Structure 1
């Protein structure tokens, strides 16, 4: 137990710091190997955990590639031009547009696309308009987490919960629609109030803004891919095939137009990160098998009433800010899945909304901090957590309320 806990702490610390930009897998892979070698987890149990996570990781790889191909085709550049033209007269209108684009990007292309691909575009748009970037940058940070509640493809935690809940793609989306909308509304109202002074600064674009040239073919393929997620779920086929189909179509077109390269496509799959996820699963399983599962089970309330669901979400949120949301969901899902989809979705709300409180809450937060490091945006730990303290409790209550209503209207 002690060795597994030490190695889990080492893996999470390295993933948070990432010295010299090294991949999270640099420590995670040897840690998993050491636990197997010392007998802390058997080869069979480790293989079973890898097999359980493999479809989820494959799905994640396809979505990462799809997001990069959308960027190669100019989707995010067009979004930046649209944002600049929409917000040229009023930063508050720009914030609303950023919310719309970041919400859609997170829901369809995952939170990584919002942090890595959209955030730089938002920062560039603010520079073009000569306005403070703070409210718009924090919008992408928060929406990368809280706006990822809608679809199984929106977040790696969603993919894990989707598997554990045993719901269809459309049933999952239906139950999470109200929590998703409630989260976005609370985030918008609170961020607009917190950054009222920055949003009052009048834009001063240095030059005329270009016309928007939206890549319609890309939007068409994304629409078909999204429909494919629902169709594959109906026929009990992994939605990864729909994501792969969209990636193949855009990949072939991107290569033919020389917008994309084979090396770039392979790199976008982020194989080291995928290895990190698999090995982290092995490390967490080793910790769980030595008693952590019983300790955590005693902290989780029973039932599917509002108070019980809020308690489950709160435990998940707190655990996310202690050990990061990915290990938190790996720890909690086996404990709540026997109680049914309601508890699983409450955990999901906790691990998706809760991370907005601290940088350690999610890897997306750490990626966002790196992206905005050179921008004129206050990103200190106290500032980030101060903003999170204003949004997370309210968002958590609103999202759980939406889930409670959805369960009673739609049913689990």
Structure 2
């Protein structure tokens, strides 16, 4: 049992570093929980985190993690019903020989997919679709692929269900689903618009018209009406669940069940595939990471962050919070950064101004576009893109990040500040 506070902080920092390094590298494809669970157990055994604090952290994370699993299952079942096959057909039919039009359609599709089905669905299911659509039309897949990567982060600020970071912060804000969405709508639109303008300029060499497009319209794909209606109903359910005293996880689970029954009957998926889609190992990882980060947040590091972060809602304060969150995301990865900053913002009074919490979300959601290690979504996108034969370039990703990240973080934060004045 470690009693010295400095030693506890050092051990906590080492444990967090070990967990993150393993999560980024994932040797032999082992799940992130492989190291995270022993690290959490070690943190408890060494007294870095008390057993009561670990149980409290786990209990607080439980509703969020349960919803994450449900939304992952919903995304898988939407894919089983042909939603992403239909999207691929629409992208091809409407882009024709125009890479610029395809990029615009990818931005719209990726933004909506991220907002509704979460960033994981965008990275895993949409990346192969847009790469294939570009190749099928004889275009360079680069702009579309990098757009999906960026929008999996920057388009994840709109709804509480769009990102795990949003889910972690949503309950702390005390806002309703609709109020949260109303405040984040302007930052969401501003960030996407700036990203699109930047991509048009940065990838201008890839956006020339295709002179001899392949003569391949392919068979038309009917819209998967049932899946689209169920997803729409789920969104309505999320919006009204708070007023009904219902946790959103039950809405997501109900929507998943409605889609699962016909998909299983038609052998479009299997029970094993649905369970695999829940990504239970990643859910365990989130619990373990929360325990490990609690050890860091409860020591001098957490106290230092608490002193740095302003808790007012002035424009300068919101910009400071967003900037600190963006930097922390690229140092720690956005998930542990969210856990650390949330603990810091709520440590004094048990609550924090809504503006500060939402500015933090802008930082941890948009900031990770700066580096490969900023978010788990970017790491996952790299693997998916490489598997599709479109390996990302570190130089290109860094240049795009340096151009887009600072301006989107600042502009989205200003938009948030204006929304808070209304």
TM-score, normalised relative to structure 2: 0.95
Aligned-partner Cα distance in 2 for 1:45–1:247: 33
Query: Which of 290, 306, 316 is matched with 1:307 structurally?
Result: 316
* Paired position in structure 2 for 1:275: 284
* Paired position in structure 1 for 2:168: 160
Residue 299 of structure 2: SS of its match in structure 1?
A: helix
Aligned-partner Cα distance in 2 for 1:383–1:96: 20
Q: Does 1:22 align with 2:30?
A: yes
CA contact (8 A) 1:133 1:376 kept: no
Aligned-partner Cα distance in 1 for 2:78–2:29: 25
Q: CA deviation at 1:382?
A: 2.7
Aligned-partner Cα distance in 2 for 1:217–1:36: 47
* Paired position in structure 2 for 1:91: 99
Q: CA deviation at 1:405?
A: 1.1
Q: CA deviation at 1:333?
A: 1.0
Q: Does 1:6 align with 2:19?
A: no
Aligned-partner Cα distance in 2 for 1:317–1:396: 8
* Paired position in structure 1 for 2:190: 182
Mean CA deviation greater in 264-273 or 161-170: 161-170
Q: Does 1:227 align with 2:236?
A: yes
* Paired position in structure 1 for 2:89: 81
Q: Deviations over 1:101-134 (max 9, x none)?
A: 1111000000000000010111111111121111
Q: Does 1:402 align with 2:392?
A: no
* Paired position in structure 2 for 1:261: 270
Q: CA deviation at 1:401?
A: 1.4
Q: After superposition, where does 1:288-367 map in structure 2 within 5 Å?
A: 288-337=297-346, 338-367=351-380
Aligned-partner Cα distance in 1 for 2:391–2:279: 29
* Paired position in structure 2 for 1:126: 134
Aligned-partner Cα distance in 2 for 1:62–1:221: 14
CA contact (8 A) 2:97 2:209 kept: no
Q: Does 1:210 align with 2:228?
A: no
Aligned-partner Cα distance in 2 for 1:320–1:205: 42
* Paired position in structure 2 for 1:113: 121
Q: CA deviation at 1:375?
A: 4.5
Q: CA deviation at 1:377?
A: 4.0
Structure 2 CA distance for partners of 1:376 and 1:255, relative to 1, 3 Å: closer
Aligned-partner Cα distance in 1 for 2:364–2:137: 35
Where does structure 1 lack aligned partners over 5 or more consecutive residues?
Answer: none
Count residues in correspondence: 409
Q: Deviations over 1:209-234 (max 9, x none)?
A: 32131101110000100000011111
Aligned-partner Cα distance in 1 for 2:113–2:106: 10
Q: Deviations over 1:367-407 (max 9, x none)?
A: 00011114554623232111101100110111111101111
Aligned-partner Cα distance in 2 for 1:208–1:403: 43
CA contact (8 A) 1:88 1:205 kept: no
* Paired position in structure 1 for 2:393: 380
Aligned-partner Cα distance in 2 for 1:302–1:42: 28
TM-score, normalised relative to structure 1: 0.97
Q: CA deviation at 1:334?
A: 2.2
CA contact (8 A) 1:80 1:122 kept: yes
Q: CA deviation at 1:302?
A: 4.0
Q: CA deviation at 1:339?
A: 2.9
Where does structure 2 lack aligned partners over 5 or more consecutive residues?
Answer: 1-8
Residue 47 of structure 2: SS of its match in structure 1?
A: coil
* Paired position in structure 2 for 1:247: 256
* Paired position in structure 1 for 2:294: 285
Q: Does 1:56 align with 2:77?
A: no
* Paired position in structure 1 for 2:4: none
Aligned-partner Cα distance in 2 for 1:333–1:41: 17
Aligned-partner Cα distance in 1 for 2:122–2:372: 16
